[in-house]
Chain A
Amino acid sequence: MLIWKASYLVPEFSLIIVLVIALALIFDFTNGFHDTANAMATPIATGAMKPKVAVGVAAILNLVGAFLSTEVARTVSGGIIKEGDGGVLITPELIFAGLIGAIVWNLVTWLMGLPSSSSHALFGGLIGATVIGVGTQAVDYNVVAAKVILPALIAPLIAGGVALVATRLAYRITRRDLGKPDGRGGFRYAQIFSSSLVALAHGTNDAQKTMGVITLTLIAGGFQAVGSGPTFWVIAACALAIAIGTYTGGWRIIRTMGTGLTEIKPAQGFAAETSTAATILASSHLGFALSTTQVASGSVIGSGLGRRGSTIRWGMAGRIALGWVMTLPASAIMGAFAAGLALLGPIGIVLDMVIGTIVIMALFRWSRRNRVTHHTLLNDIDDAGRVVRIKKTPRRPARPGRGDRRKVSL
């Protein structure tokens, strides 16, 4: 409502602001389905939750989480792009261009099934657009190094180390003589809670980036007082967009995280999720934010290292790492390109939109060639289970007391 009224008053500003808000919500959506895997890849892989149930729980928790906190939103662009009176005012056109870069890169990594950080894509896009629109001096490179690049290197290391120790502990404590039941299937119950914790933490962080961008745009357009927080409709729209994105489920990325890096057993899954939750909570409460995606991927690899007899597909890990390295520059280049066009004026904005739509359509058409849904995901994991079953038959008795012919493996 606010927008329409405002657009009536300030026609030259309104269209671009509506566009930016729409793009920001689209980015929020891609952020949601990109990051479903962080919380839900491991419980889906171990069978702790059915795929559809898992993404449903994650979606609800993301929705709830978005309403819980608006702290990050208030400081979203804090520092990286110098804004305000002393520095450079970032215009809605540049935010628009940065968002296009971030969305396109998010879709590219989704198509390749790579879990990459949506925040890095957003920062990259905004940085690229700012460099073109304002100049290289507008970006605070020290802040970029300290707040974006260094944490990206350290996050997977911390999470991986923690997950390794946690997995070792879980296996050591529940170890029993061969053939005796060890009850490790019970880790599945715990996985429901630990992964939900990760999903909630994600919800309180990630929707806020979009809220921050929309609020920044509204402030830049003069619709909101400088320094004010996001209004209710912004919070609600962002929460809804990320929840719908989460429910859609980035099945390609879930497949990569759940089965592509290492084969995950319930004890490992629980250890990995607990490590992810602990690392994210510790980092966000002790001053600096780590990327959920990088923490979660590090945890999965660490838990794979922690279980005896498991193998890590380092080739896949390398591809993921390469994706992380590429995220910032790639989305920066795309954001810069979009900004170059956007600065041509209204015609450039239209060109941006047309090119962006064509690229997104092409990516979706491409994704149709080999579709990955929760059905194909089941088949993949099914096949993996059969292979394991053939290779090594665990000498473990069936569940006592019930004549069910199904048996929990590990």
Chain B
Amino acid sequence: MIDWSAFLIVTAASLFSAAVLVSLYSLGLRLLTTAGRIPMVEPHEFTGAITVLSPKKAAKQLKRARKAAAANPLTPGLKSLALFAGYACFVLCAIAVLYGVYLIVPALHR
């Protein structure tokens, strides 16, 4: 009656797919950051998740960020390689999401 192996399979499948997807996206972010293109997504008009700084403080932070970017040890070639690899990760993620849509819509896989 109770199919325990089904539960195990579901656990393994969801663990695997979630881990791969999250790892890919994280790796993409990591590579972008390494390449000096730090993704900062503004939470548009949404004041809850952002910190409002005074202009003086913001200028200080900006200076520090520029310094950090300038200290990037990678050569330009390596930087663009990292950038390319990062985007490749995002493309793989997009494919995974499309596969999810494919699984959701029965008309596509039947």
CB distance from A142 to the nearest CB of B (A): 6
Is B69 an interface residue, CB under 8 A from the partner? yes
A283-B58 contact given A385-B48, A400-B38, CB 8 Å threshold: no
State whether A170 and B22 are in contact (beta carbons under 8 Å apart), knowing that A69-B105, A381-B48, A398-B58 are contacts in the complex.
yes
Contact A404 to B39, CB < 8 A, known contacts A169-B19, A378-B47: no
Interface of A is mostly: helix
Known: A69-B105, A161-B15. A174 touches B33 (CB 8 A): yes
CA separation between A185 and B50, bound complex, in Å? 10
Stretch in A94-102, A189-197, A226-234, A363-371 with 4+ CB within 8 Å of B: A189-197
Alpha-carbon gap, A277 to B102, bound state (A): 13
Contact (Cβ within 8 A) B66 A400? yes
Q: Which of B37-53 contact A (CB under 8 A)?
A: 38-53
The smallest beta-carbon distance between A294 and chain B, in angstroms, is: 13
Given A158-B11, A190-B93, A181 and B65 touching (CB < 8 A)? Answer: yes
Report Cα–Cα, A182/B30, bound state, in Å. 7
Interface contact B52-A405, CB-CB below 8 Å: yes
Give the contacting residue for A68; candidates B47, B64, B100, B107; CB below 8 A. B107
Among candidates A68, A159, A275, residue contacting B106 with C-beta atoms closer than 8 Å: A68
Question: Which A residue's beta carbon lies closest to that of B56?
Answer: A405
User: Which of B2, B25, B29, B101 meets A197, CB within 8 Å?
Assistant: B101
- CB contact between A162 and one of B18, B30, B46, B107 (< 8 Å): that residue: B18
How many angstroms between the C-alpha atoms of A173 and B76 in the bound complex? 23
Kindly state the separation between the CA atoms of A210 and B46 in the bound complex, as whole angstroms: 35
Beta-carbon contact of B10 and A408 below 8 Å: no
A318 vs chain B, min Cβ distance (A): 24
> CB of A82 within 8 A of chain B?
no
Question: B51 near A409 (CB under 8 angstroms)?
Answer: yes
A185 to chain B, nearest CB (A): 5
Given A68-B104, A166-B22, A187-B29, also A279-B10 (CB < 8 A): yes
Q: Considering the chains assembled together, what is the distance between the CA atoms of A46 and B45 in angstroms?
A: 13
* With A183-B29, A204-B104 as contacts: A405 and B39 at CB distance below 8 Å: no
CB closest residue in chain A, given B47? A382
Residue pair A407, B51 in contact (C-beta under 8 Å): yes
Contact A409 B18 (CB under 8 A): no
Closest to B52 in A: A406
Contact residues in A for B104 (Cβ distance below 8 Å)? 65, 68-69, 197, 200-201, 204, 281
CA distance A70 to B58 in the complex (A): 54
In the complex, whether A216 has a CB less than 8 A from a CB of chain B is: no
Residues of the B chain whose Cβ atoms lie less than 8 Å from the Cβ of A145 = 1-2
Q: Name the one of A182, A270, A288 contacting B22, with C-beta atoms under 8 angstroms.
A: A270
Q: Are A398 and B62 in contact (CB under 8 A)?
A: yes
Closest approach, in angstroms, between the C-beta of A363 and any C-beta of chain B?
29
A313 at the interface (CB under 8 A from B): no
Tell me the residues in window 57-108 of chain B with beta carbons closer than 8 Å to chain A beta carbons.
58-59, 61-62, 64-66, 68-69, 93, 97, 100-101, 103-107
Whether A186 contacts B41 by the Cβ 8 Å rule is yes
Q: Does A47 contact B (CB under 8 A)?
A: yes
**Set B23, B38, B43: member contacting A46, Cβ < 8 A:** B43
22 A-B pairs, CB-CB below 8 angstroms? A48-B43, A50-B45, A69-B104, A71-B106, A179-B64, A186-B32, A200-B104, A204-B105, A266-B41, A274-B22, A279-B14, A281-B14, A286-B10, A290-B10, A397-B61, A399-B42, A400-B68, A405-B54, A406-B42, A406-B53, A407-B50, A407-B52
Contacts from A to B (Cβ < 8 Å): 45-48, 50, 65, 68-69, 71, 142, 145-146, 150, 154, 158-159, 161-163, 165-167, 169-170, 172-174, 176, 179-190, 193-194, 197, 200-201, 204, 266-267, 270-271, 274-275, 277-279, 281-283, 285-288, 290, 378, 381-382, 384-385, 389, 396-400, 403-409
